[in-house]
Amino acid sequence: MEIWINPACSKCRSAISLLDAEGAEYTVRRYLEDVPSEDEIRDVLDRLGLEPWDITRTQEAAAKELGLKEWPRDETSRDRWLKALAEHPKLIQRPIITADDGTAVVGRTDEAVQDALSRNKS
């Protein structure tokens, strides 16, 4: 299991605390420093069952500069969104937990983190 975090994010710290409390084995990826490629983001989106705009933090300054709220949210614009997330990783919603069963969750709530944990128990 891997968790993408920003250490300054309270939701990320909360998810890590919960994983630690459960004794989970996981790898931390500080995605602002170890920036995921477009392909890695595409893979995580497939695992989440979401589109790039679903995990985009549209209130961030970079999102406003890019005018993301005005971008089309359709298949023809998907690569444009992926490129923006790879170039501006701060726009990626966090934390994202990839589970051993091939799925992933956006772990913004304790329930979502518990869901990821349950997917790792075999």
Catalytic residue among 1, 2, 9, 38: 9
Output the DSSP codes for 44-65: HHHHHT--GGGGB-TTSHHHHH
- Crossing angle of helices 10-21 and 110-120, in 10° steps, is 40
Pairing of strands 2-5, 96-98: antiparallel
| The pair of three-digit structure tokens given for residue 107, joined into one six-digit string | 């772990």
Q: How many other C-beta atoms lie within 10 A of the C-beta of residue 77?
A: 14
Q: Is 12 marked active-site?
A: no
Half-sphere exposure in the Cβ direction for 121 (13 Å, CA): 9
Q: Which residues are catalytic?
A: 9
